[in-house]
């Protein structure tokens, strides 16, 4: 290990300051690699067969390049992975590691895995760095591209060119937020792993459907060696757990210098029996027994008196004598069993903050947010330290030491003592109120004491100023308050509405300052968008919407410079906007617009110059897809208009674009040759390509729509004045049915539930028809509505269907006709 650390230090010395700056400023997940945090490896002498087998695989390039350590929860996957990472780091073969965790937003963000791995590879290998750093300098937005493009550009191509041999470790894939039916990371890995044969990938994860589907993909299945940890013969696991207990109890006795041989063989047998092959039970047991200021023998006796119980993992029942729930309940009752009602409220609140915080909070920050003394919070958490990762410093974050504890404490069927049970709805509400109250109390203008009119990047001691003037509790409140708006009942609580109104009315610009210096301006867009949608009653909803328009209208200014909020944004705001009326006095007097300011917000929230033939807005409102009719389509952030990814057509020219309902897929219609292309936007890969048969110069793809569930899409095709509707399966591209349409279809087809609808104009009326996306269905008439006498049919005019109000709009002459559909 010392030798390897020396090698890494020497490698770091070779990095010039410009390269250091590029790597330090590149967006990645800080602390996700194996050397950070409180992770522990296997006790020496345990899991030897498993460890030796994996280590041998890392050295043998005749074996498959991917290794999946497959194990149920609590079977010790992460501990084994940590040990392997330590071993291969020690002999100089660890290129990068990423330990996924639901506790931290960045550690569970799929889009940060490849950038984080790339930065580690660049720090460790000069040849890789010489390729990666210029790449980032030429395209700083590469970290925002699709997973496919990330891996291709940031990892595969530099590894191919540098011919580096290394091992990459990714632990706990099941803890990442992934909406794909098959793991997105695994899908992308399967496409590229054959291109980098000198690189080994050690991956761990529970056998959940997404992970199993991912490893089952043909390209990855043939490149993967699978080890099923929970199928290791019980006697071998039992022996390892027995050894772990023996050594741990000897260590306790030696450290406390008493109780030699205090663990009887009978007690050891009972502990091993209750562990039932789960290392997490053994670890939690030792942590409970070895609490500071507690008598270990008393703790052990108390634990052994617990009744046997049954524990469930999903729908799979473990052995009957497993007592993890009883262990957790016992630890909580031991710590808080005799509390008075007032103490119970504090226990309830603090536990909720530990479990539900968007990012782990320190005891000090928990106290600040919830109105408790930090000196009271820390002892409370210390009393259950066996369930937590807790440091002596009250300013360091605390989190559950294993995912099984949050799973237990929010489940009413498992945590039967209501004093300890965490109710997500109620606890999110409490955290939201705490965040709003703290911001209302603490935020003020120019908190970081910036010089006038500087950009954030021009402040050399930016990080020091943040640490000095914005404590961790206020940082959390500013970045995460909206993440606790998770239940409809929450927003309707009067005290929350009142606190939110005061915040927007008095602290908006100061909040934007903080987000700007923290590099988190995008959180303002998400927060105000969510608040606007959740709020119901005026005047707060109008105020939130006005604030949203201010942020989106001046996003680039807010992102680049906190002082310029007052120099370059506020002075040019509409003079009758609510933001100007509330905050106009804060505008910098040196910036004064004499004439020409608008009274109200421009309907065009943000503009850019672009030659665009077709565009589509995602249903979630976060993305815009555009194409100039060439061979590429670009996906843009709908607020900042920053390019997120570029999709290249197979061979034709892109004429139409449409998003799936969940914005995961994008359909493009390509001309010459005629194809319908479906793209997975998260991975940036092709899902299906459908060649349209019987196509000639007289045939045109008129419009496209997805079914509500996103598994099927319909296409309206026009040829020589006749219309046909075709339906296809999104993933397989299978043509499921076709229906000829009688009459002239006006405008576009649209989705209504699981039906496709279209409007036909004939005989002085407009008739709405619908047909189910399922095969062997015929169109049925929904409603017929009269048309004006001077109405002229034009199938190229676009109609619009409002899914919430169920209204149909169509342009006519100098007006728009609107019908209830």
Domain annotation covers residue 610: no
**pLDDT for 104:** 87
Tens-place pLDDT, residues 214-229: 888 888 888 999 998 8
pLDDT for residue 488 is more than 80: no
Give the whole-number percent of the chain exceeding pLDDT 90.
32
pLDDT digits (tens, 9 = 90+) for 539-589: 889 999 999 999 988 999 999 999 999 999 999 899 899 999 999 999 887
Does the structure show a pLDDT above 50 at 804? no
Query: Domain containing 144 — which CATH number?
Result: 3.40.50.300
Integer Cα distance of 598 and 371 in angstroms:
44
Task: Give the confidence band of 340 by pLDDT, cuts at 50, 70, 90.
Answer: low
Total of domains in the chain: 4
Neighbours of 499 (CB within 10 A): 20
Q: Looking at residue 334, what is its pLDDT? A: 80
pLDDT at residue 385, as a whole number: 85
What pLDDT is stored for residue 648 in this prediction? Answer: 80
Domain housing 157: 2-232
Do both 365 and 454 map to the same domain? Answer: no
Positive or negative, the Cα torsion across 716, 717, 723, 724? negative
Question: What does the DSSP assignment read for 410-463?
Answer: T-TTT---TTT---HHHHHHHHHHHHHHHHHHH--TTTT-PPTT--GGG-TTHH
| Cα 691 from Cα 670, distance rounded (Å) | 10
Of the pLDDT bands very low, low, confident and very high (cuts 50, 70, 90), residue 801 is: very low
Does 233 have pLDDT greater than 90? no
> Is 531 within the bounds of a domain?
yes
Q: E strands, 209-285, where?
A: 224-228
Spacing of C-alpha 238 from chain mean position? 37
Asked if pLDDT for residue 369 goes beyond 70, the answer is yes
Q: With respect to residue 474, please indicate whether it lies within any of the assigned structural domains.
A: yes
For residue 800, pLDDT over 60 is answered with: no
- Give the mean model confidence (pLDDT) for residues 710-726: 85
Please report the pLDDT score of residue 722 as a whole number: 85
Say if 193 falls within a structural domain: yes
User: Which pLDDT band holds residue 817 (cuts at 50, 70, 90)?
Assistant: low
Confidence of residue 318 (pLDDT cuts 50, 70, 90): very low
- Would you state the pLDDT for residue 102? 85
Q: pTM value?
A: 0.75
| Structure confidence at residue 96 (pLDDT) | 96
Q: Residue 806's pLDDT band (boundaries 50, 70, 90)?
A: very low
> Tell me, what's the pLDDT at 795?
47
CA distance 188 to 195: 12
pLDDT computed for residue 686 by the predictor: 76
- Higher pLDDT among residues 233 and 427, named by residue: 427
- The predicted pLDDT at position 338 comes to 62
Structure tokens at 731: 């993933």
Of the pLDDT bands very low, low, confident and very high (cuts 50, 70, 90), residue 821 is very low
Q: Is the dihedral of CA 350, 353, 354, 355 positive or negative?
A: positive
Q: Is residue 70 part of a domain?
A: yes
* Same-domain check for residues 62 and 205: yes
CATH number for the domain including 372? 1.10.10
Distance, in Å, from the CA atom of 706 to the CA atom of 54, rounded to the nearest integer, reads 45
Q: 455 and 362 in one domain?
A: no
Report which of 38, 207, 22, 24 is spatially closest to residue 130, judged by C-alpha positions: 22
Query: Is 60 exceeded by the pLDDT of residue 314?
Result: no
Please determine, for residue 305, whether its predicted confidence score (pLDDT) is greater than 80. no
Same structural domain, 394 and 428:
no
Q: Which residues contact 198 (CB under 8 A, 6 or more apart)?
A: 61, 159, 163, 164, 165, 166
- For residue 339, the model assigns a pLDDT of 60
**Residue 114 pLDDT greater than 70, yes or no:** yes
CATH number at residue 732: 2.40.128
pLDDT at 443 over 90: yes
For the chain, the 3-state helix, strand and coil shares in percent, each to the nearest 5, are 45, 20, 35
Please tell me whether residues 211 and 351 are part of one structural domain.
no
Residues 6+ apart with CB under 8 A from 447: 469, 470, 510, 513, 514
Residue, of 5 and 513, whose pLDDT is higher = 513
Give the position of tokens 């049919």.
793
Domain for residue 703, yes or no? no
Last residue of a domain, one of 554, 571, 586: 586
Span of 257-266, 316-325, 707-716 with lowest mean pLDDT: 316-325
Domain check: are 215 and 337 in the same one?
A: no
Question: Mean of the pLDDT values across residues 400-428?
Answer: 87
Name the domain boundary from 232, 258, 283: 232
Q: Are 801 and 757 in contact (CB under 8 A)?
A: yes
| Higher-scoring residue by pLDDT: 492, 568 | 568
- Dihedral, CA of residue 737, residue 742, residue 748 and residue 753, to nearest 10: -50
Measured distance between the N- and C-terminal CA atoms of the chain, rounded to whole angstroms: 71
Res 807 pLDDT > 60: no
Domain boundary among 409, 440, 460: 409
437 lies in the same domain as 393: no
Same domain for 142 and 219? yes
pLDDT tens-place string over residues 598-653: 778 876 555 666 666 788 888 887 888 988 878 888 888 887 777 788 888 777 78
Of 494, 472, 302, the closest CA to residue 374 belongs to 472
Across the chain, mean pLDDT equals: 83
Helix (H) and strand (E) counts in the chain: 31, 29
7, pLDDT greater than 60? no
Residue 419 has a pLDDT of 82
Q: What's residue 251's pLDDT?
A: 85
**Does residue 728 belong to any structural domain of this protein?**
yes
Tens digits of per-residue pLDDT, 162-213? 999 999 999 999 888 876 656 788 988 988 999 999 999 999 988 888 888 8
Q: Are residues 384 and 487 in the same domain?
A: no
Question: Does pLDDT of 423 surpass 80?
Answer: yes
**Whether pLDDT at 246 is above 80:** yes
Residues 398-417 as b or e (16 or more Cβ within 10 Å = b): bbbbbbbbbbbbbeeebbee
The pLDDT score that the predictor gives to residue 216 is: 85
Closest CA to 349 of 326, 329, 330, 376: 376
Same domain (yes/no): 345, 458: no
**Span 693-716, mean pLDDT?**
81
| 486 & 395 share domain | no
pLDDT score for 259: 61
Which region among 147-151, 637-641, 781-785 has the lowest average model confidence (pLDDT)?
637-641
Classify residue 522: in a domain, yes or no. Answer: yes
Examine the domain organization and report whether 81 and 158 are in the same domain.
Answer: yes
pLDDT of residue 605: 54
Higher pLDDT, 129 or 4: 129
């Amino acid at each position: 290990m010392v030798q390897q650390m020396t090698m890494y230090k020497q490698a770091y010395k070779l990095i010039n300051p410009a390269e250091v700056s590029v790597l330090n400023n590149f967006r990645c997940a800080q602390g996700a690699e194996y050397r950070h945090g409180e992770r522990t490896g296997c006790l020496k002498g345990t899991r030897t067969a498993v460890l030796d087998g994996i280590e041998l695989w890392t050295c043998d390039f005749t074996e498959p390049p991917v290794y999946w350590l497959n194990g149920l929860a609590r079977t010790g996957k992460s501990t084994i992975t940590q040990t392997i990472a330590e071993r291969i780091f020690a002999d100089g073969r660890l290129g990068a590691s990423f330990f996924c965790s639901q506790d931290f937003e960045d550690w569970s963000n799929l889009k940060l895995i490849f950038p984080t791995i790339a930065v580690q590879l660049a720090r460790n290998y000069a040849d890789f760095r010489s390729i990666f750093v210029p790449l980032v300098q030429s395209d700083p937005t590469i970290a925002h591209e699709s997973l496919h493009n990330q891996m291709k550009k940031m990892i595969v191509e530099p590894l191919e060119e540098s011919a580096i041999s290394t091992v990459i470790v990714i632990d706990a894939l099941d803890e990442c937020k992934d909406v794909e039916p098959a793991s997105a990371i695994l899908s992308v890995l399967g496409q590229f792993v054959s291109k980098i044969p000198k690189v080994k990938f050690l991956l761990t994860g529970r056998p959940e459907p997404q992970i199993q589907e991912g490893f089952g993909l043909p390209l990855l299945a043939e490149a993967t060696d699978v080890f099923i940890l929970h199928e290791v013969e019980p006697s071998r696991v039992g022996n390892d757990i027995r050894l772990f207990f023996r050594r741990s109890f000897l260590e306790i006795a030696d450290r406390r210098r008493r109780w030699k041989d205090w663990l009887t063989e009978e007690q050891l047998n009972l502990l091993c029996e209750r562990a039932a092959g789960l290392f997490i039970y053994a670890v939690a047991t030792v942590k409970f027994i070895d609490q500071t200021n507690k008598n270990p023998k008393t703790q052990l006796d108390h634990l052994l008196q617990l009744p046997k119980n049954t524990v469930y993992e999903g729908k799979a029942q473990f052995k009957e004598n497993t007592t993890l729930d009883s262990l957790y309940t016992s630890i909580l009752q031991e710590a808080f069993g005799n509390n008075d009602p007032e103490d119970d409220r504090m226990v309830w609140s603090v536990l909720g903050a530990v479990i539900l915080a968007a990012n782990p909070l320190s005891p000090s920050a928990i106290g600040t947010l919830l109105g408790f003394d930090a000196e009271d919070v820390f002892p409370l958490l210390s009393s259950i330290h066996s369930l937590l990762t807790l440091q002596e410093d009250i300013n360091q974050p605390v989190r559950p030491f294993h995912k099984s504890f949050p799973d237990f404490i929010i489940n009413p069927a498992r945590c039967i003592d209501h004093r300890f049970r965490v109710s997500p709805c109620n606890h999110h509400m409490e955290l939201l109120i705490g965040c709003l109250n703290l911001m209302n109390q603490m935020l003020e203008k120019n908190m970081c004491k910036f010089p006038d009119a500087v950009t954030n990047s021009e402040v050399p001691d930016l990080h020091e100023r943040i640490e000095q003037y914005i404590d961790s509790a206020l940082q959390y409140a500013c970045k995460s308050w909206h993440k606790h708006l998770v239940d409809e009942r929450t927003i309707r609580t009067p005290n929350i509405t009142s606190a939110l109104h005061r915040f927007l009315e008095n602290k908006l610009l100061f909040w934007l300052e903080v987000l700007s210096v923290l590099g988190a301006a995008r959180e303002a867009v998400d927060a105000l968008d969510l608040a606007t949608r959740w709020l119901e009653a005026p005047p707060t909803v109008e105020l939130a919407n006005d604030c949203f328009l201010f942020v989106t209208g001046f996003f680039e200014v807010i992102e680049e410079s906190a002082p310029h909020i007052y120099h370059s944004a506020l002075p040019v705001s509409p003079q009758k906007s609510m933001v100007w009326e509330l905050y106009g006095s804060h505008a910098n007097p040196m910036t004064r617009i004499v004439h020409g300011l608008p009274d109200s917000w421009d309907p065009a929230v943000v503009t850019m110059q672009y030659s665009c033939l077709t565009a589509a807005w995602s249903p979630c409102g976060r993305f815009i897809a555009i194409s100039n009719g060439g061979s590429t389509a670009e996906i843009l952030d709908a607020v900042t208009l920053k390019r997120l990814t570029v999709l290249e057509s197979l061979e034709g020219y892109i004429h139409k674009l449409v998003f799936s309902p969940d914005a995961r897929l994008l359909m493009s219609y390509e001309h010459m040759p005629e194809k319908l292309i479906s793209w997975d936007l998260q991975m940036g890969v092709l899902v299906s390509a459908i060649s349209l048969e019987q196509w000639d110069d007289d045939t045109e793809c008129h419009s496209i729509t997805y079914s509500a569930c996103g598994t099927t899409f319909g296409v309206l095709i026009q040829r020589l004045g006749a219309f046909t509707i075709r339906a296809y399966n999104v993933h397989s591209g299978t043509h499921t049915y076709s229906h000829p349409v009688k009459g002239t279809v006006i405008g576009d087809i649209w989705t209504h539930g699981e039906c496709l609808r279209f409007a036909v104009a004939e005989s002085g009326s407009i008739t709405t028809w619908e047909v189910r996306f399922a095969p062997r269905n015929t169109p049925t008439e929904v409603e017929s509505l009269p048309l004006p006498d001077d109405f002229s049919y034009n199938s190229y005019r676009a109609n619009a269907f409002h899914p919430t109000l169920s209204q149909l709009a169509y342009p006519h002459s100098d007006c728009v006709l609107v019908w209830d559909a």
